[in-house]
Structure 1
Amino acid sequence: MKQNGILLESGTNEIEVVEFLIGQSKFGINVIKVKEIINRVPVTFIPQIHETIEGIIELRGEIMPVVDTAKALGLPPSEKPEEDKFIVTEFNKQKLIFHVHNVTQIHRTSWASIEKPEGIYQGSASQLTGVIKLGDEFILLLDFEKMVADIHPDSAIQADEVERMESGERSKKRIIAVEDSLLLQGLLKETLHKAGFQHITFFNNGEEALNYLHSLNKAEITKEVQLLITDIEMPKMDGHYLTKQIKSTEGLSDIPVIIFSSLITDDLRHKGKIVGADGQVSKPEIVELINLIDQLVL
């Protein structure tokens, strides 16, 4: 792999993407999700499992499922399977492997240059979160969280988990939620409503949310924004950069910010601390998120 240097800074609004191929199509995954890349190895088949799961392998003492990425995307299988690669990933507090046809290089780019899929790509069946244009070529960023949720629905946010919680005094609290996935917006809205939060304003990316905050005066901020929840991976402006901008801006810095993302791991939690996040919760731990909101918004 050609590597341009691992991005160590936090709050730069940059992303490093591992480019991989399915056939001749170019796709990308955030390098933060990638633990390592290995050559394809034999897979043990498991009967009566989801059709896109090839089976399992053992890697350094851990049993991990292998996802047939081509099948998950409805694309043909590899023409040269002996050259295929396995991308070992960790997100949403789980490890799994994505079988791809080749891995080429790492690109560093700004979230500001990544376009949100529109039109025919925007349907509920879309597996894309963004499009990167490099010269005359495009790299399609896959929605790996949605792919996993399609395979294992219990890994997504579960609204019924909050039904046993006491609603308390949440109905008057006003929250901003920043999430680019329309599917997760709907799940988050449903879940927070069940928990008793009735005033939630959603934005599709950090840029939209920050522009809204800048449009408010001090009195309006105090009244309308008692807490902000943000994802990390979003086109235009990511959650780390948004948090950094809020915490370094007079009049906004007192707003409690919770980062709610599949990228919250022990190895990456320091990135949120550096930009000043008041709390960090890994998806899909919705009960933990609600408890943290209660602590931060009295």
Structure 2
Amino acid sequence: MDAFQKEIDERTNLTSSNMFELLLFRLGGVTADDPGELFGINVFKIREIVPMIPVTKTAGTQSPIMGVVDIRGQVISVIDLSAIAGCVSKNGPNILLITEYARHTQAFAVESVEEIVRLDWSQVLTAESSAGSEIVTSIARLDANADSGGGRLVQVMDVEQILNMISPVVHTLSEASSKKHRTELKPGAVVLAADDSKVARALIEQGLTDLGIPYIMGKTGKETWLQLLHMLAEAEREGVPIEDKVAMILTDIEMPEMDGFTLTRNIKGDPRLKHLPVVIHSSLSGSANEDHVKTAGANGYVAKFAIDELAATIQKALA
């Protein structure tokens, strides 16, 4: 038990060093004889991995929903990732990845699980600058010295986008909530926001617009960090406090190049920036992650995707 707890603590503490662990799996290829490419999912989002069990196909179920399974008394929807990715599985789905995203539990059916690899977020590049599909949020290079070329590449799935395709997220605030949480910033100040998921960015942008809050949106923690440093340099040249330029930072946790914890620690570790409020907005829910939010120094945490809670948290941080 002690060894098991030590492994959990070690894995959790990776967030203090801009590192994470990726579970690699396959979905099949273009044809039944093609093993297909490697895909990845953050280990933190996986509750357990179980062999395929009988799936009950509920009335009206359509692909990519396969049906539901009973896992120790909990009825969970099963999503066929091969169907979503357009892959042909040679042997059919053999494994269920039980995942927790944004307070919801679902099972992803995959063909096979390969291994778990430990990576630095600097080894992960956003897929939007390449030919990535809408369900791939980033590309991970498995070989640390991949600068010379030839390293293995893994497609990291945008699970938030996949779930939104199946059950669309409500992006708009209610009129009552918009009025209740509306907050005025200093003239010229903006909110800096960072998220690598398209659907999350759309929700954040709509929410900030509904609240009448100007913003600058970034796709990675590094992009937002560089934007913040640029605005700090401008403020110093003009002889004004950074608060005249930036009202707060709203950041995801999982992002290519620099994660949200590292971004938060960078801000809180700089005497010129440490007074800026930072709110973490993440699908990684649970007490362990909320504890890390406090350790990193963030001023607030809200789980995706609860637009009214996000608005309330932003208002509290800005106040």
Q: TM-score, normalised by structure 1?
A: 0.90
- Quick one: distance in 2 between partners of 1:18 and 1:290? 33
The CA RMSD over aligned residues, in Å, is: 2.1
Deviations 1:49-82 (A, max 9, x none): 3420100011111110001110011111x3224x
- Quick one: distance in 2 between partners of 1:152 and 1:226? 33
- Quick one: distance in 1 between partners of 2:97 and 2:192? 34
Q: 1:267 to 1:50 in 2, by over 3 A?
A: farther
- Quick one: distance in 1 between partners of 2:62 and 2:284? 24
Contact 1:206–1:234 under 8 Å retained in 2 = yes
Contact 2:161–2:198 under 8 Å retained in 1 = no
Does the alignment pair 1:31 with 2:36?
A: no
The residue number in structure 1 matching 2:87 is 75
Q: Secondary structure at the match of 1:115?
A: strand
Does the alignment pair 1:238 with 2:250?
A: no
Which amino acid is 1:280 matched to?
A: Y
Output aligned runs, 1:73-222, within 5 Å. 73-76=85-88, 78-81=89-92, 84-118=94-128, 121-122=131-132, 126-135=134-143, 136-153=151-168, 156-161=169-174, 164-166=177-179, 168-170=182-184, 172=186, 174-197=190-213, 199-215=214-230, 216=232, 217=235, 219-222=240-243
Q: 1:109 to 1:203 in 2, by over 3 A?
A: same
- Quick one: distance in 1 between partners of 2:51 and 2:259? 32
Deviations 1:82-125 (A, max 9, x none): x7111010011000000001111111111111111145635xx5
Query: How many residues are treated as equivalent by the alignment?
Result: 288
The correspondence for 2:27, drawn from 6, 19, 22, is 22
Q: 1:160 to 1:256 in 2, by over 3 A?
A: closer
Q: TM-score, normalised by structure 2?
A: 0.84
Q: Secondary structure at the match of 2:126?
A: coil
**1:220: Cα distance to partner?**
4.8
Q: 1:35 to 1:183 in 2, by over 3 A?
A: closer
Q: Secondary structure at the match of 1:48?
A: coil
Contact 1:226–1:297 under 8 Å retained in 2 = yes
Q: 1:50 to 1:171 in 2, by over 3 A?
A: farther
Which amino acid is 1:285 matched to?
A: A
More helix per residue: 2
Which amino acid is 1:17 matched to?
A: L
- Quick one: distance in 2 between partners of 1:275 and 1:41? 40
Q: Secondary structure at the match of 1:159?
A: coil
- Quick one: distance in 1 between partners of 2:288 and 2:59? 34
- Quick one: distance in 1 between partners of 2:298 and 2:162? 28
Gaps of 5+ in 1: none
Deviations 1:153-208 (A, max 9, x none): 1xx242143554316443656211111233432332122111222x1111121112
- Quick one: distance in 2 between partners of 1:191 and 1:213? 21
Which amino acid is 1:170 matched to?
A: E
Q: 1:75 to 1:162 in 2, by over 3 A?
A: farther
The residue number in structure 1 matching 2:271 is 250
Q: 1:11 to 1:162 in 2, by over 3 A?
A: farther
% identity of equivalent residues: 28
Does the alignment pair 1:8 with 2:12?
A: yes
The residue number in structure 1 matching 2:52 is 40
The residue number in structure 2 matching 1:64 is 76
- Quick one: distance in 1 between partners of 2:295 and 2:71? 32
- Quick one: distance in 2 between partners of 1:168 and 1:142? 34
- Quick one: distance in 2 between partners of 1:121 and 1:220? 41
Q: Secondary structure at the match of 1:8?
A: helix
Contact 2:191–2:215 under 8 Å retained in 1 = yes
